[in-house]
Amino acid sequence: MKVDASNPLWRFRGITSTAMLFFAYLYLPIVILIALSFNENRLATIWTGFTTDWYVVALSNDDMLRAAQNSLVVAVSATVIATIAATLAAMGMSRGRFRGETGVSAMLALPLLVPEVVTAIATLLFFVAIGIKLGLVTIIIAHTVFCIPFAYLPIRARLEGMDPSLTEAANDLYANEWKAFRRVTLPLLWPGILSGAMLSFIISLDDFVISYFVGGAGATTLPIYIFGMIRIGITPEVNAISAMMLLVSIIFVSVSFLIDRIRY
């Protein structure tokens, strides 16, 4: 059978229905979760009426607010450190080829390839081996390492698209490396840095597996708190908290995507 290469992919038989089933499988449960967060009945699966009371209940829950505060402390700390490290790594990798460049690139991308549960267990064993007490600090350290690749990729992509002659021109005008970076490179690089930072923030905020393994007593983050509530039973309050986290995630990922598309 001869296939016309000029035809769009959706013209092939079965592609449209397969794509619709695929997206329905991915997003229909999320739509149902959001709808049930407005369910008046405490039994989350039985719809009896519309209400926003569960959002009020969730935002009035002191334990949930403490968990959210822990998540924000971890996410902000990990984002700042990871973004700085990723920016320095991207700047160093962009200076030209060197011996071991492939290995360094592979190490930077490794957290994206290794299953998260393996990373979590390895990190836990490392902290136990060196005698670090588990808590928010260990979660911040683990999240920082995990988030570096997510911050690195947008920054490196931005650097790859920059014209190196701009920095050379700044050097010709007697600007040292720091001044050339501050006056030329940084203004052109900031969309990539901000995009990587926002992506790192939402990855850290939503992470459950690593936080669950390396968090100690009093280091309950919001995903861990939600997991604890689900073990008792799914209620509209759980759905409301999940819907709010989903909204925050969508906003940050969308803004990160739009910022990364800003041209020079």
pLDDT at residue 163 in the model = 66
pLDDT for position 82: 94
Domains of the chain: 54-260 (1.10.3720.10)
Please state the pTM of the whole predicted model: 0.80
Give the model confidence (pLDDT) of 177-195 as tens digits. 777 777 777 777 888 888 8
User: What's residue 125's pLDDT?
Assistant: 94
What's residue 165's pLDDT? 67
Please report, for residues 55, 94, 237, the alpha-carbon distance to residue 59 in angstroms, rounded to integers and kept in the order given: 6, 45, 10
pLDDT in tens, 65-107: 898 899 999 999 999 999 999 998 888 777 666 676 677 777 7
Please report the sign of the dihedral spanned by the C-alpha atoms of residue 248, residue 136, residue 134, residue 115: positive
Tell me which DSSP letter residue 12 carries.
S
Q: What is the DSSP letter of 132?
A: P
Q: What is the pLDDT along the chain (264 residues), one digit of tens a residue?
A: 444 555 565 666 777 788 889 888 988 988 888 888 888 887 767 788 888 888 888 888 888 889 889 999 999 999 999 999 999 888 877 766 667 667 777 777 777 888 889 989 999 999 999 988 898 999 999 999 999 999 998 888 888 777 666 666 766 666 667 777 777 777 778 888 888 898 899 999 989 999 999 987 778 898 998 888 887 777 788 888 888 888 888 888 888 778 767 665
Tell me the C-alpha to C-alpha distance, in Å, between residue 2 and each of 5, 12, 16, 64, 247: 9, 12, 20, 59, 46
